Amino acid sequence: MLFLPQAKPEPEESIYNAIDAVEFMRDLRKLQQRTKCGNNTCVGFIKLFEQHLGTKANSTLPKSFAACDKALKAEAGVKCLELHGCTNCQRHVFAPGDKTSARCPECGAGRYQADGKPNERVFFFPIKGRLQKLMSLPRYYNMCQHEFERPRNNNYVTDVYDTPAWRKFMGPVTFPIQRIGLQFCVDAIPAFAAGTLSLKPAEFINLSLPPSERAKSENILLSMLLPANLPKGQSQKKYFDFIADFELNEMATIGIMPDRIPVKVKIFSTSMDTKGREELTGNVFVGGAGA
């Protein structure tokens, strides 16, 4: 009988050397997205993982998501900017980089409360950088060719592209795509367990994607988080005007992706009720809820 020598077991360190800390944290973020668990649960999972692997893993795994999130945001083109608005004249929004102005240049009202907190705060997530990154991905870029490639029948309206409004505002479709159309929406949600409408996400849906892809969470572009208790009238409109001047007007006229054929980004429509349109335009509509 022939006895073959048995392979020696790998050193204990190899199990730890095989751990890629960056990929581990990214995979954990993906797991968090699927399971909807919080950061505390994920950090608890890391500690449990370290406990069973021993002290060598303790020096391998990160203690927080800070470095991972920073890298992911850079790759995705994600930025979060804090905006402060004037609560007196309701016309001015302080630029994100302006940390020194304490009074509104329009009316002279104070920017901060006695405790140093801003009178009004909104979180803004520019979409230009994210669209640049998304359009550089072949899969996303190819999906935006849907309007040109889809089957169609001139006798039927099968999608928004077949409507006179789309054709007039967006112009003819080309291949490859040279413009995409977005739909803007804002509505209040109960962000906390109290069940009250405490937050208003403002977001864009890319209508140039196939219908099956438009409403997926990974394809919706979050633009702002507005407090739901902002007064009616100009209080919210000033933020809509700000993001138009900050990036939307430039994206509509110059476009994105200068390294390839520029793609103009046009805001084709809004999807909101009468109250939402009042907040968007700063006007009061007279009529019933369905007006």
Residue 283 has pLDDT above 70, yes or no: no
Are 59 and 117 contained in the same domain?
no
Please, which residues bridge with residue 124 across strands? 81, 224
Q: Quick check: is 174 in a domain?
A: yes
Residue 70 is part of which domain span?
16-74
- Quick one: which of 55, 44, 45, 72 has its CA closest to 16? 55
Biggest CA-to-CA distance, the chain: 97
Residue 242 has pLDDT above 80, yes or no: yes
Q: Quick check: is 7 in a domain?
A: no
- Quick one: which of 241, 282, 276, 238 has its CA closest to 119? 238
Are 121 and 192 contained in the same domain?
yes
Of the two residues 48 and 89, the one the predictor is more confident about is 89
Residue with tokens 């997926």: 216
Give the pLDDT band (50/70/90) at residue 2: low
Give the pLDDT band (50/70/90) at residue 14: very low
pTM over 0.95, yes/no: no
Rounded average pLDDT over 118-143? 95
In degrees and rounded to multiples of 5, residue 26 shows phi and psi of -65, -45
Are 45 and 154 contained in the same domain?
no
Are 22 and 93 contained in the same domain?
no
pLDDT in tens, 210-224: 999 999 989 999 999
Number of structural domains the chain divides into = 2
How confident is the prediction for the chain on average, in pLDDT? 85
The H-or-E segment that residue 106 falls in is: none
Mean pLDDT is lowest, of 54-63, 96-105, 264-273, for: 54-63
Residue 291 has pLDDT above 50, yes or no: no
Q: How far apart are CA 166 and CA 177, in angstroms?
A: 15
